[in-house]
Structures are given as structure tokens and as C-alpha cells.
Structure 1
């Protein structure tokens, strides 16, 4: 069996849509759990399908691809967390309303817009609202800044690339593509195989990624906010609430009520049960076997500056990794339109500390579990290991269970009419067990002892 078949049958597909673009024996479809997945139309696949799959091609990992792309650039350095880099910043867009429109600092869309405005590209490939019934967002091609602006903000929603790649093949234009790490890697692998795509896609703008969500995530957020999942139109996943820290954002869901009247609801995400990213509800299984958090094969990567010095600013701040000299030159040329504060690479890594730990320490244990069971799994840069404290092993086992059970709970909530109260009740004992694993007895005793000592010292 070739590796792309092993990826599909093993549940490691992220649904990027690149393999059907190179091999007509494959397709990509949304499954019953709201995830795009590759589908085998026949069992005879072209070898190129495995070479472009980000989870099948273990030889060309992010370190290897990054070295090919950036290793010869003067001044470039390598870091185990962020990959190859020229410069690292914290900052935000000053010009226009990109910061207000964006999830955090607005620098991804400012950069894409500037590439368009300066004629460096003719179009941008990115996710924006979709007119297709039952699909909120899809990859589309924007030729104007206004079109680009309509796609601002993170989309915690499944998308795939096959349709826009067909457009690229048919239209001789210059493109920038925006994507999460595995999608950018898939594009890089495709460009090694397809000179037409390689010649037309000029820039790769990466997004820091916690994990990819199924469409159940958007439906569950809206349902818990009062809109039936069969009547949801859209969800703004990163609605900025005035006067609050950037980490204390909300959602804005739109749809219709039972009488067909338009409904709009805004809810802080901290009031919703499904929005704790550590629980990993509705996560693609492939994300549990990814070791790239900071889109290491992208010319530039942006993410949220989840650090105390920055989260207090509710307008949002990006951490930025620049790998391409052309992107650095763009920032220098238009320095007055952005606020960029140089920061050590360790600051960027620290801003994504939880995600990196899950993709390093946690991934090592998940790989070990697969090897112990004698099951095929993708080849990663992380080596399998069981050398973890017992409570950390239980944490990672608990996260796998939370992911798996969230799909079951949501399907059953829709089937039996119990709604989100049923979902919450179903998941509560699983969440409770996970929290106990992440808070072992020795830690609880230590906290209690510290509290008692502090109380005694204050009284004295």
C-alpha cells in the first residue's frame, strides 16, 4: 500500500485537497463529522500523490524543505520551535483598518494587501465566506483589496485547496497563498512536482496553528448561543469585544429563528463549553500527528502574541516570523504602515508554548502509542518516547479521548434532540477525568500548602 493510502485509511488526512489535484484516482469530500477527507476512487494511485501529501512524505520534512528554501539566505538562522528565520517581531498594522478587521494584529492581511497594491502579485488565495449551501467558508481567489478584506480574520473551519489549484492551473497570474502549516507544506511539496504552480505562486503567508476544526465547531458555538445548527449562516470566530483583553474575545453568529427571521448573537467565548482549545473538541485526528506550529515553510508566519505584555491590548498583537528577504524588504519599504518591535526568537516560541509542548512532548508519546500497537503512522521529526511522568501521559491520553468523544456527543445531541445541554452533560465526566489528570494529587497538595503558608505569613 502506498503512503497516501496509509494516510487516508489511518485517519491522518487533513483534507488539504492537494492529492486529488495531481491524481484523478483521489477526491476530497466533507465527511459525516464535518471534515474534508481524501477519498480513494480506486486503489491504484500515482506515486506523486504520496509525494505531495504533507503526512505521507516523511523524507521532505519541514527542516529539509526550509533548508532548501531559506538555508542559503544571508543572516538566516534555525530554531527548533520556529524553523528557519531572518527576523522575529511582535507588532500590528497601523495603516487602514487591518488591525480592527483582523483576529489580532492584522499583519497577514496587511501584507497580502500590500503585495496586491504594489503589483507583486495579481491575486491572493485565502479563505473567505462561501455562497455554497451548507458551507460557511472556502478557499477563494481575491484580485482586489476589497475582496481580500472580506476574508479577514481566522476561520476555524474546514477548507480545501483543490478548486483554487485548478484556477491557478488555468490562469497565468502571480499569486500569494495564505494557509496553516500543513497546507503551506502541501503547497511547497506540490511546487516541487508542478512547475506551472511553482512559477505562479510567488508568496506563502503562514498562520500559526493550534489545530484544524471540523464544521461541528462552528455549529456547536452557534447552537450554544441559541441558533439551531440547521439554521446557522455564519460564525465570526474572533469577534473583538471592546474594552477587553485580546484573549477575551467572542463569537458573532448569524442565522434565522424557527419562524425564518434573521438572528444575530454575540457571546464571549469564555461562556461557551466548546471553545477551550486545550480540550481539542472537533479536532482533525491528523493534527495530533503534526509537529509544525509556526508554518515553518512559509515566507512569513503570523500568530497571536499570547503573552502578558501584549494580551492586555484588546486590539490585538501578532508575533511575526520573517524568512524571506522580499518580505523583510516589504516591511522596510512601508515601515510607517506597521508597528514592528524586534523580539528574540524565544519570545515567539514562548507565545505558542502550549501548542509546541503538545506537538513535541505530546506527539512523542502519541507516536510511541502507535508504535506499541504496531500501527502505521506518519514519520515525524519528533522521536517516539514514553519517558514522561504518569500524569503527563494521562493528559495526552485524555486529550485523544476528548477529541474522539466530542464528535460522538455532537452527533448524538443532534440525533436525539437533546441539544447542547445533552452535549455538555455527555462531555462533563470526560472533561472532569482530563482535569484530574492534569492536576495530580501532589500538585493539589503543593498548592494547598503554599496557600496555607501565604495566609500565615500575611497574618504575621
Structure 2
């Protein structure tokens, strides 16, 4: 069995769409759980399919690729979490309405627009609302600031690159692409193999990533907000609430209810499916990824989940710059942003939960696979069970939460009970997970602290 087959058959496909672009024996399909997956049309695959797969090509990991891409850049540094970097910032866009329209500080789309304005690229490859009635969002090409802004905000939804790569292959233009870490890595691997793609994709803007969601996430959010899954049109996953902290946002779902158009705004704290730590509807591949900050991207942006920043509901970005052209861009248009250069450790701290899950947690998940005698991808962390017992229970609980969320959603559809079935099915699993994540010694310590401080 070759490596891309191991990825597909082992359930590690992230659905990026790069392997079918290079190998006609593979195709992309949406599976019964709402995830894009590569499908084997035959058992014979080219070697290139394995070389471009981000979960099959263990030799070209993010450290190796990063060194090849950025290692010779003057002033470059390296961090185990950030990868290679020139400078790290915290801030936001102040012009053009990018911050208001974005999920966070608006710097992703601001940078894309400035690459256009500086004549560095001709078009932007990013995710926008789809005209295909079967999916909400897809990768598309934009050529103006307005088109770019139409694709603003995070899309917690399955997407794939094969169709837009066909477009790049047939258009001799300069592109910047926006994507999550594994998608950017897949593109970098493809660029190692395909000169025309390498020459046309000039820049890569990475997004800090917790994990990729199946389409069930959007449908469940809308369903719990009062719109039946069959009648959901669109979900805005990061609808900003006035005068609320950045981490207290809402969704805005649109669709049809009782034969009439409906729009519902619902704070995520009122929905059972939106706790990111539960990992509902997560791609299994995400449990075997060790890149949180898109280490192979020219620049990475994410949320500044830090004291002093997340209280600002307008949103603030952390920024990791690896390409000197991006530094020049930030300097040229500095009046349009408010950026503070910060120590790299602060950016790492902003993503501490995700980093722990992708390093300590991954090492334990690898151990579980090895103990079961199952194939799994080669990663930069080593398999081990040498972690505290309660952390093992936490990571085991997250695997169960992920797997059971799909079972519960199918049950909600088949039972006719709707999301009440989902909540009831997941309730005991969530309770056990919370207990693991909040062990007895921690509860006792908190109680003692309250007693000593004179509170109840």
C-alpha cells in the first residue's frame, strides 16, 4: 500500500483537494459526515500523489519546508511553535472597514488587498459564499477589494482546492492564497512538483487553526437556532456582538422557516455545539496535525486570545511575518494599521490551548495508535504515554466527543427529535469529559482557596 492510500484508508485525509489535481486516479467527494475526502477510483496511484499529501509526506515536514523556503531570509529566526519568523505583532486594520467586516482584527483581507494595491498579485484565492446550492462556501478568485471583503470572516466549513487549482493552471497570473496550515503545506508540496503553480502562487497567507469542521457544524448551529438543516442557506460563524468581548460572539443563520425567509442571530454561548474544546464535527486528520500557526505561510494571522486584547470585541490579530515582502508591505501602508511588535512568546501564549493539544495531546494519540498496531502519519512529536493520568483522560474524552458528535447528529436527523436528541446523546459524554478536565484535586484546591479568601 502506498502512502496516500494509507492516509485515505486510515481516515487521515483532510480533504484539501491537492492529490486529485495531480492524479486522475483520485477524486474529491463529500462523505456522509459532511467532510470532503479523497476517493480512490483505482488502486494505482502516482508517487506524486503521496508527495503532495500533507499527511503522507513525512519527510517534508513543516521544519524542512520552512527551512527550504525561509532559511536564507536575512534576520530569520526559528521557534518550535511559530516555525521560522522575522517579526511578530499584535494589532488590527484601521482603514477600509476591514476590522468591522472581519472575524478578528481584519488584517488577513487587508493584507490581501494591499498585495493587490502594490501590484504584487493580480488576484486573491480565498473562501467565499458559494453559488452552488449544495455547499455554503468554496474557494474562489477575487480581483477587487470589494470582492475580497465579500469573503471576509472565518468559515468553519469544509472546502477543497482542486477546482481553483485548475483555474490557476489555466491562467498565467500572479496569485495570493489564503488558507489553513495543512492546505498551505499541501500547496507548498505541490509547488515543489509543479513549476507553473510555483510561479503563479506568489504569496501564502496562513490562518491560525484549531481544527477544520464538517458541514454538520454549520447545520447544527442553524438547527439549534430554529432553522431546519434542509432549509439553511448560510451561516456567519463570527457575528460580532456590540459591547461584548472578542470571544463572546454570535452566529447569524439565514434560511427558510414555515415557508418564509428567516435570519437568526444567536450568541454562541447559548448553543450546545460551539464549545471549541469539545471538537464536535472535527476532521479526524486534525487530531494528527502538529502545525497550529501555518508555519509554511509567508505570514500568519490569528486571534489574539490574550488578557488585555480579547476584551476588545472589535477583534485583534496576532501576526507572524516570515517573508520580507510582507514586512515591506506593513511599512509602506503602516498608517492603515495599528500594530505593536511583541515577543514571539506572546504569540505562542495566545494559542496555548491549541498548541498543547497538538503537541502533548498528539504525542498521546500517536501512542494510542502505535499501541493498537495501526498505521498513522509520521509527525514531528514522538509517541508517548508519559503524561499525567488526567490529561490522558482529557485527550481520550476529546476523541470520543469528536466521534460521537457525528453519531448524534445522524441520530437527530433520523429520530425526528431534532437537536434535543443530539444534546441528550452528548450529555453524558460531555459530563465525563468535564470531570476529566476538572479533576477532584483541582476542585478541592479551588474550594480551599474560596474558604481561605472568605468567599463561598
Query: Would you say same fold, with TM above 0.5?
Result: yes
Say whether residues 1:207 and 2:215 are aligned partners: no
Query: Which stretch of the first structure deviates more once superposed, 69-78 or 184-193?
Result: 69-78
* Residue of structure 2 in register with 1:142 after alignment: 142
Say whether residues 1:299 and 2:301 are aligned partners: no
Say whether residues 1:332 and 2:331 are aligned partners: yes
Q: Following the alignment from structure 1 to structure 2, what is the Cα–Cα distance between the partners of residues 203 and 184?
A: 10
> What TM-score do you get using the length of structure 2 for normalisation?
0.99
Q: How far is the alpha carbon of 1:95 from its aligned partner?
A: 1.1
- Structure 1 residue ranges (4+ consecutive) displaced by more than 6 angstroms after TM superposition: none
Q: Following the alignment from structure 1 to structure 2, what is the Cα–Cα distance between the partners of residues 205 and 220?
A: 29
* Residue of structure 1 in register with 2:186 after alignment: 186
Q: Following the alignment from structure 2 to structure 1, what is the Cα–Cα distance between the partners of residues 267 and 134?
A: 25
* Residue of structure 1 in register with 2:364 after alignment: 365
String of CA shifts for 1:247-303, please: whole Å, max 9, x gaps.
1110000001122x1100001101100000000000000000000000000000000
Aligned length, in residue pairs = 456
String of CA shifts for 1:83-141, please: whole Å, max 9, x gaps.
10000000000111000000000000000011112211011000000011120000001
Query: Which stretch of the first structure deviates more once superposed, 112-121 or 401-410?
Result: 112-121
What SS does the aligned partner of 1:243 have?
Answer: coil
* Residue of structure 2 in register with 1:153 after alignment: 153
Residues 391-410 of structure 1 mapped to structure 2, 5 A cutoff: 391-410=390-409
* Residue of structure 1 in register with 2:265 after alignment: 266
String of CA shifts for 1:206-227, please: whole Å, max 9, x gaps.
0000000000000000000000
Q: Following the alignment from structure 2 to structure 1, what is the Cα–Cα distance between the partners of residues 442 and 146?
A: 52
* Residue of structure 1 in register with 2:348 after alignment: 349
Give the gaps of 5 or more residues in structure 2: none
Give the gaps of 5 or more residues in structure 1: none
Q: Following the alignment from structure 1 to structure 2, what is the Cα–Cα distance between the partners of residues 98 and 144?
A: 14
* Residue of structure 1 in register with 2:71 after alignment: 71
Q: How far is the alpha carbon of 1:158 from its aligned partner?
A: 0.3
Q: Following the alignment from structure 2 to structure 1, what is the Cα–Cα distance between the partners of residues 103 and 255?
A: 22
Q: How far is the alpha carbon of 1:48 from its aligned partner?
A: 0.2
Say whether residues 1:172 and 2:163 are aligned partners: no
* Residue of structure 1 in register with 2:384 after alignment: 385
> What TM-score do you get using the length of structure 1 for normalisation?
0.98
What SS does the aligned partner of 1:9 have?
Answer: helix
* Residue of structure 2 in register with 1:451 after alignment: 450
Q: Following the alignment from structure 1 to structure 2, what is the Cα–Cα distance between the partners of residues 258 and 421?
A: 20
* Residue of structure 2 in register with 1:415 after alignment: 414
Q: How far is the alpha carbon of 1:238 from its aligned partner?
A: 0.3
Say whether residues 1:227 and 2:231 are aligned partners: no
